[in-house]
Amino acid sequence: MIEKVLLDYLNSKLDCKCYLEVPNPLPKGEFVVFEKMSGTKENMLYNHDFYFQSYADTMYKATLLNNKVINALDEANQAINNSSLVSTKYVRDYNFTDTTTKKYRYQCIYEIYHLD
């Protein structure tokens, strides 16, 4: 399951906790949440779009955390060995502050190519 591969990898690379869903209650400080949005499969190769949301107490910290996520995902192809991950492709990132929780949040979108 590619979500587990990405979760383990990001938790090893970032100095904050990563989750597959927004925790309740919200953690203090910084954390990352990511989820699969959509995808396709062709010739045994999956292409899924994922969003990665970087939460922090200030916009500046959310932006810095977002950049750390981007750097980690850009390096994931070489860093993750013996997995089904084939490649990661940056699509875009933007301010996505959560007005409901009043937490600063930045979001980046990636295409993740993987096997099985």
Tell me how far apart the alpha carbons of residues 39 and 32 are, in angstroms, rounded to a whole number: 21
The CATH number of the domain holding residue 63 is: 3.30.2000.30
* pLDDT computed for residue 44 by the predictor: 86
How many domains in the chain? Answer: 1
Range of the domain at 101: 2-115
Phi, psi of 29, deg, nearest 5: 80, -150
Tell me how far apart the alpha carbons of residues 35 and 43 are, in angstroms, rounded to a whole number: 23
Give pLDDT tens digits along the chain (116 positions).
Answer: 889 999 999 999 999 999 999 999 988 899 999 999 999 989 889 999 999 999 999 999 999 999 999 999 999 877 776 678 888 999 999 999 988 878 899 999 999 999 87
Amino acid in the structure at residue 75: E
* pLDDT computed for residue 82 by the predictor: 64
* pLDDT computed for residue 78 by the predictor: 77
Burial class of residue 101 (count of CB atoms within 10 Å of its CB; 0-12, 13-18, 19+): exposed
Structure-token pair, residue 50: 């994922």
Is pTM beyond 0.85? Reply is yes
